[in-house]
Structure 1
Amino acid sequence: MAMPKRMSVPTEVVFPAGAYLKGGVEPVADFNAPQREDGSRPQQLDKDSGLPLWQVLVFDFDEDAGKKDSAVTVKIAARYQPVPPENKGPLPLTQVGFVGLTALAYIDDNGARPRIVWSFKAADICAPGQEAEREAELNKAAA
């Protein structure tokens, strides 16, 4: 069976009540690489594409989400820092969608009981409902 480790999933399946960005897009530090002279770390590169990795903190307001699952980090593999959509609401949270969102299940055995958790990675971030349009743009640019 040739089942991929990472499964493609639409944003609305992972975040049925919407995904809400807190803060901005930040580079993912590579803690396996040696520190630079100034003490900082280089940016981590995606193992599959070789592109730099960025991360965003997203809140999930789904009533069924557990306490540990109500805020998740989504990594984005992109050559340049992704730009989230403009926040047009009164709250400091921006509703977002993800282009090319994938999920990877793994076992977290750091707590009292092991549990299955998910790692999320995307190709880009966009306004909700614009995932298909943005994905078509990315595919056209890659061709």
Structure 2
Amino acid sequence: MAIPGGYRFSVPFDDVFPEGAYVLGVEQAFDWDKNGHKTPAKDVMSGKLVWNVQITDPSAKGKNTGAVVKISADVQPVPPETLPGLPFRPVVFEGLTATAYEQNGRVQFSLRAKEMRAPASTAQKASGGKSAASQQQAAA
């Protein structure tokens, strides 16, 4: 079976980040030409600008917990709001894909997502994904 280079595999967020992920920051990605000049990176499939979402992954357990998830968009994606008592912003990536590549004899993965959002709250999960407001409207 031949798999073309650069193929993006769909991967479930919970499989990649079983303990969740937390945004540290978002910055524009850049490419460099052979003369060392940098230009804003563009996604080869969509032509949109590429943004690097710096995250920390608590499931890494003592290893390098930092990772990058790339998002292609015309404007800089905005991370979810911070939550009281947490030093980072919890995030869920929608449309998560992985692209395998070889570097220094090891297989590595580049992660991309269509968008990021705040995770559903525990209350929403317990109610089948409905917010308190929608539950009140349904009860009325």
TM range (shorter): 0.7 to 0.9
Shift of 1:125: 1.1
- Alignment partner of 1:46: what SS? coil
* Alignment correspondent of 1:45: 42
* Alignment correspondent of 1:12: 14
Change (3 A) 1:83 1:90: same
Of 89, 93, 97, which residue of structure 1 is paired with 2:92? 97
CA RMSD of superposed structures (Å): 2.4
Q: Distance in 2 between matches of 1:50 and 1:34?
A: 23
Amino acid at match of 2:78: V
Alignment map for 1:1-143 (pairs within 5 Å): 5-22=7-24, 24-32=25-33, 41-62=38-59, 67-68=63-64, 70-109=65-104, 114-129=105-120
The count of corresponding residues between Structure 1 and Structure 2 is 119
> Whose Rg is larger?
2
Q: Distance in 1 between matches of 2:34 and 2:53?
A: 21
Shift of 1:74: 0.7
TM-score, normalised by the number of residues in structure 2: 0.73
TM-score, normalised by the number of residues in structure 1: 0.72
Shift of 1:66: 6.7
Change (3 A) 1:10 1:129: farther
Shift of 1:108: 2.0
